[in-house]
Structure 1
Amino acid sequence: MVEFEKPEYFLLRPEVEKAYGYSHAVKIGNSIKVSGAVSMDDEGNPTAIGDIEQQMKNCYADLEKILKHFGCTFDDVVKEDIFTTDMAQMLEKSAYRAEIYKNGFPTGSWLEVKGLALPEFMVEIELEVHKSK
């Protein structure tokens, strides 16, 4: 008999995530998929409006909470996709990532998009994580 692992769902802001119809992270086996983090407060309101660097830092702060929930760190991230409405600014402020990824950067893509979920959002970061046993 083949056993299937049940997914473990994690909601960082349950009311916001239920209203929009998504889970912030799902773990199955050793893999964790993390939905895009944006700079928002606990009610889903945009924060750090107009400040892409602070929005990026807020995203990483939320992502760290999710990683900690699963007993992971940024060292366990294998893929990071960044969506931004202003690539020039993102590239200018991206040095902060070296403080997050101290042991090497994950794979990933950076994409400039026309817009994100709300017009105030300038950056969204999603992750794929591999948790070693």
Structure 2
Amino acid sequence: MPKQVINPPTVHTPIGRGYAHAVRVGNTVYIAGQVALDAQGNLVGKGDIRAQTEQVFRNLQAVLEACGGSLRDLVKITVYLVRAEDIPTFREVRSRYLPQEPPASTLVVISRLASPDFLVEVEGIAVIGG
């Protein structure tokens, strides 16, 4: 089955060009970890977990829309946070974007992400149609 690389113009250009924002194989979409960068590559919400989480979910939504889907098509997400105290705020924002039939989810607290300014990163798997 052929794979389709997806880098929508509504999401920042992949950093380092060594990856795609998403790869679609059949009905399955694998979404790279999304961070709080806007379409121009600017950090949104330095030091603010709520603003960063909002941007992350907007990026996930934009990637899925470019694939013909929506956040409702997510079946699995993996969340990386750098501060355990941000878990309640992250969950609050996530519940607004994924209110019904949420995907399976793993949340891991780690020491750091690719940039010291990133507080959260979320990757996902979606099944669109079929």
Alignment TM-score, normalising by the size of structure 1:
0.87
Question: Are positions 1:124 and 2:126 aligned together?
Answer: no
Superposed counterparts of 1:1-133, under 5 Å = 5-12=1-8, 16-17=13-14, 19-133=16-130
Q: Is the contact between residue 52 and residue 90 of structure 1 (CA under 8 Å) also seen in structure 2?
A: no
Cα deviations across residues 92-121 of structure 1 (Å, max 9, x unaligned)? 342122221132211121000111010000
Alpha-carbon offset, residue 18 of structure 1: 6.1
Unaligned 5+ segments in structure 2 are none
Partner-residue secondary structure (3-state), 2:14: helix
Count of aligned pairs: 129
Provide the aligned C-alpha RMSD in A.
Answer: 1.8
Alpha-carbon offset, residue 43 of structure 1: 4.3
Q: Is the contact between residue 53 and residue 90 of structure 1 (CA under 8 Å) also seen in structure 2?
A: no
Alignment TM-score, normalising by the size of structure 2:
0.89
Rate the CA distance shift 1:69–1:42 in 2: closer, same or farther, 3 A: closer
Alpha-carbon offset, residue 15 of structure 1: 7.5
**CA distance in structure 2 between the partners assigned to 1:109 and 1:22 by the alignment:** 22
Q: Which amino acid aligns with 1:26?
A: V
* Identity rate, percent: 24
Alpha-carbon offset, residue 59 of structure 1: 0.5
Q: Which amino acid aligns with 1:104?
A: E
Unaligned 5+ segments in structure 1 are none
